[in-house]
Amino acid sequence: MRTNRTWILIADGSRGRIIRQLRPDAETGNRLDDLIFEIDHKKLGEIMTDRPGRSITAKGTRRSAMEYHSQPVQEQEARFAGMMLDTLMRAYGAQEFDRVVVVAEPRMLGAIRLRLPPMLRRAVVKEIAKDLTKLPPQDLYRALEADVGRHGAG
């Protein structure tokens, strides 16, 4: 009888990790390599270096600043979430795992929820709103054992 295989997605706005095996293999003492994702996260000021244009009002000669019509930081995070979810979706379709736990910084967790495909949504067994991306791997595995261990990750 096959046990459920649970992967763990950990993410913030610019870093992500998919842990495919939380506990080391009983026989070899090794674990599968984690999948690592990183983007060059830019702050709003770096993305929008130019000031918005100006427009002339219909009456008179007054000019006023135009507003930006997008949220570049959120759009960048949404693309990053989509990239990680595409990887998860391909692996789920290939039956590499059965369940997934999502641990993400709260804003990124929202972006992931918005883009989570329905088929993959059914595989999510737990969501945790925490930013664990900056922890070194050994500390990360220990922290996840407490939060995720009972879901059979591995």
Give the pLDDT of the chain (154 residues) as one tens digit per residue.
456 799 999 999 899 999 998 877 666 566 678 888 988 765 555 555 555 555 555 565 665 555 555 677 788 889 999 999 999 999 999 999 999 999 999 999 999 999 999 999 999 999 999 999 999 888 898 889 887 765 555 5
pTM of the predicted model over 0.85? no
47 lies in a domain? no
140 lies in a domain? yes
Number of folded domains in the chain?
Answer: 1
107 lies in a domain? yes
52 lies in a domain? no
pLDDT value of residue 148: 77
48 lies in a domain? no
pLDDT value of residue 103: 96
Q: Identify the residue whose tokens are 């870093």.
A: 15
Q: Identify the residue whose tokens are 């009888």.
A: 1
Q: What CATH number corresponds to the domain at position 106?
A: 3.30.420.60
128 lies in a domain? yes
50 lies in a domain? no
pLDDT value of residue 1: 44
64 lies in a domain? no
Containing structural domain, residue 143: 6-41+72-149
The 3 state secondary structure assigned to the chain is CCCCCEEEEEECCCEEEEECCCCCCCCCCCCCCCEEEECCCCCHHHHCCCCCCEEECCCCCCEEECCCCCCHHHHHHHHHHHHHHHHHHHHHHCCCCCEEEEEECHHHHHHHHHHCCHHHHCCEEEEEECCCCCCCHHHHHHHHHHHHHHHCEC
The strand pairing partners of 6, in sequence order, are: 99, 153
